[in-house]
Amino acid sequence: MPMIKVLVVDDSALMRKLLPRILEGSNIQVVGTAMDGEFALKKIAELRPDVITLDLEMPRMDGMVTLREIVKRHSLPVIVVSAHTQAGAMATFKALNMGAFDFVAKPRDALSEQIGEIATELINKIRAAAGSRRIAPCGELSLLPQPVRKRKIPAQPPARRVVALGTSTGGPYALQHVLSQLPAEFPAAIVVVQHMAEGFTKMFAERLDAESELEVREAQSGDMLLAGRVLICPGNKHMSVRRMPLGPVAVLTTQAPVNGLRPSVDVLFESVAEEFGPSAVAVLMTGMGADGAEGMGKIKACGGMTFAQNEETCAVYGMPRAAIERGYACEVLPLEEIPAALQARFTSASDTASG
């Protein structure tokens, strides 16, 4: 594997020292650092990095302006190193819509050993970015998403059918596209695992809710699965589903990570297979690794329908590819065809009859 050249852009002298240190010995070479956007743009032309890590809060040319210039001039993958604050989360999601590849959450206390907690995540994301297929961003958004007018529909009953959706790197854009294309009266509940740091999923759900006719919320234990409702798994928790006397609910736990991940798509998919069987649909979209593949296999084995996003529209093809190669995907679709496929699944005569 060729050495991956990285430029670290951060106004903190401490972070400019720590990030190169945690990346050493992982087939990654930090070819330079920059304290602000103006220096960064000069060093990009000089050093020709493969990947850039970017702090968004910097003097002179800030991270958002810098990102816009990088996307416009160089089309290089950028990984945002984001603050654990509400403002930091808002800026992060705007950056993803402007074309950032992914983000990692900056430790709350960089002076402690917490900086080591992001090492594996950052290394994996740099490697994924270096080998990624660049997908066009959905267009720059304002700090607040443009709201969709919610149509009033009758209160929905507990769901008899469910769509379980798993994604990782590239997922925010893919989820925004899929959910924004589904109508308020969509006849199934939707449960989502998006690999995302703790503290970011609530705002992510709020943005998706504003951009969709569906009701989208960060899940809490005991939330009912209702037709037309989307539940997003919180960061650092597993989500499963369980049938109860009054209807199916979401269950959150802090059990050990599965394959190093919490949340895990496999945990969600396996519970959906057990509780919903042939009334379940699984969708695996863009993301690195193989999380969700075995869970998708269990949904298929129960008679459920399974969709995987195709390589051409994935930012990172790892998760869908793992399921496809194991024979677990009933259909492989480009991102733009997934919403119509979901609607068709629940309006077909055979599915209506199975209920």
As annotated, the active-site residues are 168, 195, 291
Q: What CA–CA distance (Å, rounded) separates 243 from 291?
A: 24
Pick from 104, 32, 46, 35: which is nearest to 74 by CA?
46
Q: What CA–CA distance (Å, rounded) separates 31 from 48?
A: 9
Helices (H), the chain: 13-23, 37-47, 63-73, 86-98, 119-130, 171-180, 201-210, 265-276, 293-301, 318-325, 338-347, 349-354
Contact 16, 35 (CB under 8 A): yes
Strand partners, 217: 231
Q: What CA–CA distance (Å, rounded) separates 337 from 333?
A: 6
Work out the widest C-alpha separation in the chain, in whole angstroms.
Answer: 65
Pick from 275, 286, 279: which is nearest to 305 by CA?
279
Sign of the alpha-carbon dihedral angle for 37, 43, 48, 53: negative
Structure tokens at 248: 């199916």
Strand partners, 282: 164, 306
Contact 240, 316 (CB under 8 A): no
Residue holding tokens 């220096």?
39
Residue holding tokens 């089309």?
75
